[in-house]
Structure 1
Amino acid sequence: MSGVVRYREAVARAEAAKHSLMSSAQAARARITPARLKQDATTKVVEAAMDGMAYAAATARQRPAMTGAAGAAILLFLARRPLAALFRRLYVGHDDINPDHSETDDG
């Protein structure tokens, strides 16, 4: 082979490697755009939430009594202030059955 042929083959290989590098760089640039990163993060969050919901549903089907008790505990925790107010009113109403007697000594 002459030097000219080897030079042309080397130039062709260099051009192919340059084209490959440029296409890889463009693909990497496309992957790190903010819109793509947001889409990837959203997809991962949705998949994790769906997996969690599927796991919770399977656990609830396996242990319905535990699920009901946990649900009741959460419901009581969320409704603790209205329930406390209700019991305070009931207690005060029950305590003041006889309004003739005063709670103080001076009458």
Structure 2
Amino acid sequence: MSRELAYRAATERAAHLRSQAFLSLADAKARIAPGRLKADVEAKVTATALNGVAYVGAKVRRRPVATGAAATGIVLFLFRRPLTALFGRLFVRLRNRNTEISEIDDG
């Protein structure tokens, strides 16, 4: 092969590799574009949430009594102060049922 043909082949190969590099660079830029990253994160979060909901649903269907007991315990823990106040008022109201003594009585 003559030097001129080798030079042309090398030039064509270099141009081809350069075009591939630019295409790879364009693909990389498209993958790390903020919109694409945001869409990927949203898709992953949505898929994870749906998988979690399906998993919890399967567990609830398998053990409904245990799930109900756990949910009741959590609700009672979260509302412990309002429930304590409510039962305290009810206790005082039931304890002070003496109608003979009036609060406005002077004596």
Q: Give the TM-score normalised by the residue count of structure 1.
A: 0.84
C-alpha displacement at 1:9, in angstroms? Answer: 0.6
Distance in 2 between residues matched to 1:70 and 1:98, nearest whole Å: 41
C-alpha displacement at 1:94, in angstroms? Answer: 2.0
Q: Which runs of 5+ in 2 are unaligned?
A: 102-106
Aligned pairs for 1:1-107 (under 5 A) are 1-98=1-98, 100=101
Task: State the identity as a percent.
Answer: 47
Report SS of the residue matched to 2:57. helix
Partner of 2:104: none
Distance in 2 between residues matched to 1:81 and 1:5, nearest whole Å: 90
C-alpha displacement at 1:92, in angstroms? Answer: 1.3
C-alpha displacement at 1:62, in angstroms? Answer: 1.2
Distance in 1 between residues matched to 2:79 and 2:3, nearest whole Å: 88
C-alpha displacement at 1:84, in angstroms? Answer: 2.0
C-alpha displacement at 1:97, in angstroms? Answer: 2.4
Report SS of the residue matched to 1:50. helix
C-alpha displacement at 1:29, in angstroms? Answer: 0.6
**For each residue in 1:37-64, what CA deviation from the matched residue of structure 2 results, as whole angstroms up to 9, or x when unmatched?**
1111111111111111111111111111
Q: RMSD over aligned Cα, in angstroms?
A: 2.0
C-alpha displacement at 1:17, in angstroms? Answer: 0.5
Equivalences, count: 103
Q: Which runs of 5+ in 1 are unaligned?
A: 101-106
Q: Give the TM-score normalised by the residue count of structure 2.
A: 0.84
